[in-house]
Amino acid sequence: MTVTAESRTVELDPRRNVPGTRPGFSSTLRAEWIKFWSVRSTMWSTVMLFVLGAGLTALICATNAEWLASSEADESPGSFITFGLTFAQITAIVLGTLTVTSEYGTGMIRATLAATPRRGAVLAAKALVLTGTLFVAGTVTAFAGYFAGNFFLDREGIGLALSDDGVLRSMFGSGLYMTGLGLLAAGVGILVRHTAAALSMVLALVFVAGNMAFLLPGTWGEWVAKLMPGNAGSPVAVPVPFNPEALTPWTGFAAFGAEVLVLLVIGWMVFQRRDA
Amino acid sequence: MISVSGLTKKYGDKVAVDDVSFTVATGRVTGFLGPNGAGKSTTMRMVLGLDRPTAGSVTVNGRRYRDSPAPLREVGALLEAKALHPGRSARDHLRWLAASNRIPTSRVDEVLELVGLEAVAGTRVGKFSLGMGQRLGIAVALLGDPPVVVLDEPVNGLDPEGIRWVRTLARQLATEGRTVFISSHLMSEMALTADHLVVIGRGRILADCSMREFIAEHAASYVKVRSPQRGQVADLLRGAGADVTPVDDELHVQGLDAAAVGELVGDKGLYLHELTLVRSSLEDAFMTLTSASVEYSARARTDQAGALR
Ligand SMILES: Nc1ncnc2c1ncn2[C@@H]1O[C@H](COP(=O)(O)OP(=O)(O)OP(=O)(O)O)[C@@H](O)[C@H]1O
Ligand SMILES: [Mg+2]
């Protein structure tokens, strides 16, 4: 056994490497951006988002254009031109959930918070990365679906112009709604920390509970239904409302945005206090 | 330098770290030793500001970890659980860490080479062996060229060559003037690596001394004596002030060295069948120390006793 003598050969300035000022939020943002795009699931989810969103819209328009143009049609082409986006929204929820829960599942969260102890900055950077990605992906997908689907509608003479009522709004609205869904999923992810749990909660809330809420009795029930995240947020993403009882597009989206914001603030408060 | 003062962490009713105070000085390797569940990882997480102390405080170079403008440039850490996403490559993992603290990207390839992972830099870390993962963890710790290095069980899963590599690296970092804080539950490993020792058991500090002192104080030796006239020899040695414990047909003698025992017995014309100096290993000393702490803390709790040291 050897016991090494205490060696104090070198005096090292403990701060020699440390800048006087913080690297700033842009560094945190860059780190989150690299993190987001350096796992395969991100690319796959984004591709799926596009394929489902644009592809299914094109498919449904192609197969229904003739019927829509006929006299027996009881639906407007506007209900079809964003059809695939509903499925794309699921992948947006998956992406939003994974940005947060994959860190907890793998223990990465500790590396993240050791690198950036300001937890608010970490959360803001994650939210911003999601916002940028989902807004662009959602809007691009909606436009792609519109152009592809409209090709078939045009052939039957029932095409929609971008200038038609609500069409352009629904394109950007798709990007906005998808962003909101991703952030909602991220917020739930912060609170429950498990991928499967967070995912099923958000999917159930948006796609199941929302529809069931319309069965609630009375004005009270009616308002609960109107304000459910999926019901309030989705009208902005479609040219013609699916449900006459729903809020108008921008009122609904404002309510939805507020709900997402409240959830993120709660998540932020929990995240600040919690052991990593 | 790391200063820990009155640090306590409770998880519900469970006290993981119990009013712990010590400092980790610069320019030497400080070993943080304790059996499983002693509170080593919990203490290290609190050093990094990951877990919030129930009471007490920790500072690194005079300020709280989270107050450092670029913590990775000040403290490098290898954490217990692999803090990695299996789907990300080693290089990408280091790249985002570098970006978060404005560390030049050139440093990524430097540390990959330093730990010998340059050939697998683009491989997803999910495919890494335990040892490769551990090496990547050390690359992460060294990324910011930090003056303080905290390693939680760095030799876990490493082969003998890897263990020697970590040992040499730790020594080298200390010689460069850095603060090196390494946890382990292997006394024998620490004896080869550490200058200073902080021993923790059940969340309490049991020893805080130099490695040299620890060996002198705790690696007890005794003289093993066998004699056909056991009773007489025992009385004789006790009379000379020795501490004599009969064990089976042997006597374990402390307080006299083998030569003194031999001479005393010889003077009285008694027979000896065996006279051996027995040194207990450091590992034994460590076990004795920590197992005693368990009993003591249990008693202390019922007595409502205060300070242990
Ligand atoms: N997040 C937690 N929640 C509840 N209990 C915890 C938590 N983390 C640690 N503990 C408990 O605190 C005690 C100390 O654990 P810790 O991981 O710090 O020990 P350790 O010295 O690192 O052990 P090992 O050598 O096994 O790594 C253990 O009893 C453990 O079960
Ligand atoms: Mg541990």
Q: What is the pLDDT of residues A199-243, one digit of tens each?
A: 999 999 999 999 899 889 989 999 999 999 999 999 999 998 878
A81-139 pLDDT tens trace: 999 999 999 999 999 999 999 999 999 999 999 999 999 999 999 999 999 999 999 99
Ramachandran quadrant class, A78 (left: phi over 0; alpha: psi -120 to 50; beta: rest): alpha
Considering only alpha carbons, which residue of chain A is nearest residue B137? Answer: A111
Residue B58 DSSP label = E
The CA–CA distances, whole Å, from B42 to A32, A195, A242, B15, B241 equal 26, 25, 54, 11, 45
C-beta of residue B179 within 8 angstroms of C-beta of residue A13: no
The pLDDT score that the predictor gives to residue A173 is 97
Q: Which domain holds residue A180?
A: 27-273
Domain boundaries, chain B: 2-217, 221-279
Task: Write the DSSP assignment of A229-263 as a string of letters.
Answer: HHHHHGGGGSSS-S-TTSPPHHHHHHHHHHHHHHH
**Of residues B50, B92, B175, nearest to A276 (C-beta):** B50
Q: Can you tell me the mean pLDDT for A51-57?
A: 97
Question: Which amino acid does the sequence have at A95?
Answer: L
How many whole angstroms from B38 Cα to the centroid of ligand 1? 7
Q: Is A163 on the interface with B (CB under 8 A)?
A: no
Is it the case that residue A1 has pLDDT exceeding 60? no
B60/B55 Cα distance (integer angstroms): 17
Which residue has the CA at smallest separation from atom 11 of ligand 1? B16
Buried b (16+ CB within 10 A) or exposed e, A209-237: bbeebbeeeeeeeeeebbbbbbbbbbbbb
B271/B265 Cα distance (integer angstroms): 7
B225-281 pLDDT tens trace: 999 999 999 999 999 888 898 988 899 998 888 888 999 999 999 999 999 888 777
Helix, strand, coil fractions of chain B, as percent rounded to 5? 40, 30, 30
**Of residues B61, B87, B97, nearest to A41 (C-beta):** B87
Q: Is A2 on the interface with B (CB under 8 A)?
A: yes
Q: What is the largest CA-CA distance in chain B?
A: 80
Q: Provide the sign of the torsion angle of the four alpha carbons B249, B255, B257, B259, taken in this order.
A: negative
The pLDDT score that the predictor gives to residue B180 is 97
Look at the block and give the residue holding tokens 């280091």: B94
The pLDDT score that the predictor gives to residue A55 is 97
Ramachandran quadrant class, A275 (left: phi over 0; alpha: psi -120 to 50; beta: rest): beta
**What six digits make up the tokens of B130?**
């335990």
Is it the case that residue A48 has pLDDT exceeding 90? yes
Along chain B (309 residues), what's the average pLDDT of each consecutive run of 10 residues? 96 94 96 93 96 96 93 93 87 97 95 95 93 94 96 90 93 95 90 93 93 78 90 92 88 88 91 87 76 52 39
Contact A17 B192 (CB under 8 A): no
What residues of A are in contact with residue B79 (Cβ under 8 Å)? 107, 110-111, 114
The pLDDT score that the predictor gives to residue B292 is 65
The pLDDT score that the predictor gives to residue A82 is 93
The pLDDT score that the predictor gives to residue B291 is 77
For residue A3, is it within any domain?
Answer: no
Mutate to test the pocket of ligand 1, among B4, B10, B11 (most ligand atoms within 8 A of CB): B11
**What six digits make up the tokens of B115?**
């730990």
Is the CB–ligand 1 distance for residue B36 below 6 Å? yes
Task: Write the DSSP assignment of B87-136 as a string of letters.
Answer: TSBHHHHHHHHHHHTT--THHHHHHHHHTT-GGGTTSBGGG--HHHHHHH
Helix axes A249-273, A167-192, angle to 10 degrees: 20
For residue A33, is it within any domain?
Answer: yes
Considering only alpha carbons, which residue of chain B is nearest residue A1? Answer: B192
Which residue has the CA at smallest separation from atom 27 of ligand 1? B36
- Name the minimum distance, in Å, from the CA of A124 to any CA of chain B: 14
How many whole angstroms from B80 Cα to the centroid of ligand 2? 6
**What six digits make up the tokens of A69?**
């143009």
Mutate to test the pocket of ligand 1, among B40, B46, B187 (most ligand atoms within 8 A of CB): B40
The pLDDT score that the predictor gives to residue B77 is 96
- Name the minimum distance, in Å, from the CA of B226 to any CA of chain A: 29
Q: Can you tell me the mean pLDDT for A246-272?
A: 96
| Tally of CB atoms within 10 A around B126 | 14
The pLDDT score that the predictor gives to residue B219 is 67
**What six digits make up the tokens of B278?**
């027995």
Question: Which amino acid does the sequence have at B81?
Answer: A
The pLDDT score that the predictor gives to residue A2 is 44
Terminal Cα distance for chain B, rounded: 23
Provide the whole-model pTM.
0.86
For residue A21, is it within any domain?
Answer: no
The pLDDT score that the predictor gives to residue B293 is 61
Supply the ipTM of this predicted assembly. 0.90
Count of structural domains within chain A:
1
Identical fold, B2-217 and B221-279: no
- Name the minimum distance, in Å, from the CA of B232 to any CA of chain A: 38
**What six digits make up the tokens of A269?**
């408060």
The pLDDT score that the predictor gives to residue A10 is 65
Closest ligand (CA of B16): 1
Strands (E), chain B: 2-11, 14-24, 29-33, 55-60, 75-78, 148-152, 179-184, 196-201, 204-210, 221-226, 243-247, 250-254, 274-279
Is the CB–ligand 1 distance for residue B49 below 6 Å? no
For residue A264, is it within any domain?
Answer: yes
Q: Please state which of the four CATH numbers 3.40.50.300, 3.40.47.10, 3.30.420.40, 3.30.1330.10 is assigned to the domain occupying B2-217.
A: 3.40.50.300
Residue A70 DSSP label = S
Is it the case that residue A4 has pLDDT exceeding 50? no
Q: Please state which of the four CATH numbers 2.60.40, 3.30.70, 3.40.1580, 1.10.1760 is assigned to the domain occupying B221-279.
A: 3.30.70
**What six digits make up the tokens of B4?**
């820990």
C-beta of residue B184 within 8 angstroms of C-beta of residue B170: no
For residue A97, is it within any domain?
Answer: yes
